[in-house]
Amino acid sequence: MVRPVGVPQRKMTYWNIKGSVPDSANEQVRVPNVIALVGLPARGKTYISHKLCRYLNWIGIKTKAFNVGEYRRAACNLEEQGEFEFFSPHNDKGNKIREECARLAIEDMGRYLDSKEGEVAILDATNTTRDRRKMLVDYCREMQHDPPFRVFFVESVCDDPDIINSNITEVKINSPDYKGIMSEEAAKEDFLKRIEMYKMQYEPIDEECDEDLSYIKVINAGKSFYVHNVNGHVQSRVVYFLMNIHLLPRSIYLTRHGESEYNQIGRLGGDSPLSQNGLKYAGKLQEYFEKEKIGELRIWSSQKIRAAQTASTMAHLAAHVEYWKVLDEIDAGICEGLSYEDFESRYPKQFAERDKDKYHYRYPSGESYEDLVARLEPVIMELERQSNVLVVSHQAVLRCILAYFTNQRRDDLPYLKVPLHTVIKLTPKAYSCQVEMFKFNIDAVNTYREKPATDGNPKTEE
């Protein structure tokens, strides 16, 4: 039997609970966390670092990544130091520079957490030796930190030549170490030699020798995992996230429902059907996806009438069509069915508070954008697991999803532009996300409301 092409399921998930005991009664629960990457070059460590940083910030845990490679590039010129020879364990000068760069990154990380500027720091480095990892753990446990930091290692282990070659070709050729300095072929040859230098000193995290550490091993880009001594909420969230991401090429399509009758008269929320313009858009959307010919397309729709009407026209094009309540529009509470003019005249204080902080503002008996992000986290996890997906939903919901994939600040999230009768195509890349917008030539009202300026006058977001 030939199985359909798609995202492969995880073959094995192994949880080692040895030593995973409840936190001591005299240990603080809310403490800063350091997430330290471990592994040879071309194992996807920086990819993991970028994804983790974006996810933790999106769910409200302030996080910053510290890439030791950037410190090294600022400290020396590889052309002068001899490219791959610089990374040899026998190169005393290279070792000294790399140790100093690691120390500087770790100290900056410490200042970031000690100042309470953030809650999580990600140390993006190879950390291939047991001595380097011990140095990091000792630093994080020093009493000068109040409280001391928790350390969680994420080791990326990979012996799949296809994954390694893909990482080398797609990512390292564009590295600042090589771009514009040598040809792609020469860069690849030099980088392979660099990997061999690291292999000479690599000491993987060991089940027995490193029994006291907290860590996850991500094996062959997520085909299997080994998890040990998870300690606290942040580490649990990190494990949850890492077990749901994949590297396979795919696209995510976002679109609002077609224009609704409530859209035409400027009313919030509700459950009105599509207008005539909205019905035209649903038809054109069907034509668009017929031409795209996307294999294994899944369609996820809100359960609101206007979204279901839009999605139903494409049911024959999809492997699966699912209607999720979690994709319903933000709940406007007592303001459902009001126009913005009604909202302002009836509840002037509430209206002003929303303008001051739209992300945290919660409609009376309704939701805030912050609530919406929490509601949508399972959707994000499923989007990370799947191949090609079309999401048919609403303005606020799609703003939250778009903000996640494009790494937007919370203050900017409620003002992202997600116009009617537009398809937004997201193509996740190693360190970013390509965004393409396809506007259909069908009339629709403009439901975008400008971000108020601090002087009280509307601020144009163009």
224 is in an annotated binding site: no
Q: Which of 83, 155, 329, 377 is catalytic?
A: 329
Torsion of CA 396, 399, 401, 403, to 10 degrees: -140
Does 263 count as an annotated binding residue? yes
Strand (E) or helix (H) holding 38: strand 33-38
Would you give the distance in Å from CA 69 to the centre of its chain? 21
CA distance 111 to 114: 5
> Binding residue per annotation — 141?
no
List all residues 6 or more positions away from 242 whose beta carbon is below 8 Å from its beta carbon.
Answer: 48, 52, 154, 216, 218, 222, 225
**Which candidate in 50, 228, 257, 394 is catalytic?**
257
Phi-psi group of 19: left, alpha or beta (phi > 0 → left; psi -120 to 50 → alpha; rest → beta)? left
Nearest-5° angle of CA 263, CA 267, CA 268?
A: 100
Please tell me whether 399 is known to bind a ligand: no
Residue 72, annotated as binding a ligand: no
Dist CA 225 CA 217 (whole Å): 5
The reply to whether 70 belongs to the active site is no
Q: Is residue 257 a known part of a binding site?
A: yes
Q: Are 265 and 337 in contact (CB under 8 A)?
A: no
Could you say which DSSP state residue 325 is in? G
Long-range contact list for 81-90, CB < 8 A, 24+ apart?
83/190, 83/193, 83/194, 84/190, 84/191, 84/193, 84/194, 84/196, 84/197, 85/197, 87/194, 87/197, 87/198, 88/197, 88/200, 89/197, 89/200, 89/201
Distance, in Å, from the CA atom of 13 to the CA atom of 98, rounded to the nearest integer, reads: 35
Q: How many CB atoms lie within 10 A of CB 400?
A: 25
290: annotated binding-site residue?
A: no
DSSP H/E element including 405:
helix 395-406
Residue 246 falls in the annotated catalytic set: no
CB of 331 within 8 A of CB of 304?
no
Q: Is 260 annotated as a binding residue?
A: yes
Tokens of 68: 């030791």
Helix (H) or strand (E) holding 382: helix 369-385
Q: Is 250 annotated as a binding residue?
A: no
Q: Which of 402, 370, 399 is nearest to 383 (CA)?
A: 402
From 240, 193, 253, select the one nearest 383 (Cα to Cα): 253
Q: What is the dihedral of CA 368, 369, 373, 375, to 10 degrees?
A: 40
Binding-site residue numbers for substrate are 256-263, 306
Binding-site residue numbers are 256-263, 306
Q: Would you please indicate which residues are annotated as catalytic (active-site) residues?
A: 257, 329
